Amino acid sequence: MSEKKNVGVVFGGKSGEYDVSLLSAYNVINGINKEKFDITMIGITLEGKFYIYKGDVEKIKTNEWINDSKNLISDFSLFDGDIINNVDIIFPVLHGQNGEDGRIQGLFEMMDKPYVGCEVLASSVCMDKDIAKRIFRSVGIPVVDDVLVFNTDIETDKLLEATLDRCEENLPYPMFVKPVNMGSSVGISKAKDRDSLKEALLKAVKFDTKILVEKGINAREIEVAVLGNSHPEASYPGEIVSCKEFYDYEAKYLSGDGSRIDIPAKIDDKIIEKIRTYAVKAFKAVGGSGLSRVDFFLDKDSKDIYLNEANTLPGFTNISMYAKMWDYMGIGYSDLIEKLIDLGFERYEIKHRLTIKE
């Protein structure tokens, strides 16, 4: 029997989605086949401090891990030391800024370690909703009309009023206001009039210096899971039918009864195939590898399809869609985790066959 590989599962992070990461990491750690893999748990605090954690995985889910001092090791280096040298591949279970925006992926590249998921460029591009939408448009994938707002556009009352005018001139109400570099619906608001638009902009700017104001459409939210490297495949789409007006952060991760999940989504077969095709096309356009969850809007009236965003490190919580969609396709949770690990090794080996000199 071949020797077990050691998987370094990284969780937490200096991010507004810290709590989501803990829930996802708890499931990933429990889902890894312990007969095939050993696990090194690497926690990052909200302040950005790294620890090796050797305690009870249950304490990760509840955030008690950080107080489990007897099981925390802080005096180690990501670039040296016996502990990290024994890690064969890193599985970053991180969401949002500093986790899926390419920064920590760059660190793994500098460490010369294989890792699960998209590389630096795809991660950073998909984290920036504005840049991602420009790329999707360029390859013919439809996206919702928007207005881009910078923090400097609303820093005075006069500028704020001018920005409100610009939004109203270009988009009808309702509008959705989104921080460009946040995920999991953090900081997103629905604006129905000028007052609520103003309030939404002032809320969003607390999370990011770039804000997207998008045309609101009467749409269903459809998601597709993408898996693979050079030859990615798309799952059948799923739909989250939220009991709330829109599927916000609380409904996604913190509310047990905030939604109903339909896999496959109850939509026409032709639309299903078009969405799956768009998902793979988007994944390839940004240079994706490993995994992504690609989210779409399906206009309830016109049946038009719009790509909303591509998530390069989708959630793995109990109610997260990515694993559920692959389970419907016949790939169970543990097998999916193993496949993602294999894809990380595969990409690393391909890159290391390339030459850097003529």
Annotated binding site for ATP: 129, 176-178, 184-185, 214-221, 308-309
| Three-class SS state of 327 | helix
Which letter does DSSP use for residue 211 in this model? Answer: E
* Burial class, 132, CB count within 10 angstroms (exposed 0-12 / middle 13-18 / buried 19+): buried
Q: H or E stretch including 279?
A: helix 269-285
Known binding positions for Mg(2+)? 295, 309, 311
H/E element, 311? strand 305-311
Tokens of 267: 């939509």
Residues 310/222/19/6 CA torsion (nearest 10 deg): -60
User: From the candidates 24, 124, 184, 292, which is the catalytic residue?
Assistant: 184
Torsion region of 44: left, alpha or beta (phi above 0 gives left; psi -120 to 50 gives alpha): beta
29, 41 Cβ separation under 8 angstroms: yes
User: Which position among 124, 189, 292, 320 bears the catalytic label?
Assistant: 320
Q: Decide if 17 is catalytic.
A: yes
Length reported for the chain: 358
Rounded Cα distance, 133 and 129, in Å: 6
CA nearest to 20, candidates 178, 179, 181, 183: 183
Q: Detail the residues annotated as belonging to a binding site.
A: 129, 176-178, 184-185, 214-221, 295, 308-309, 311
184 flagged as catalytic:
yes
Asked about 320 being catalytic, the answer comes back as yes
Q: How many CB atoms lie within 10 A of CB 183?
A: 28
- Options 17, 100, 223, 338, the catalytic residue: 17
Q: Judging by beta carbons within 10 Å of its beta carbon (0-12, 13-18, 19+), is residue 284 exposed, middle or buried?
A: middle
Residues with a catalytic annotation lie at 17, 184, 320
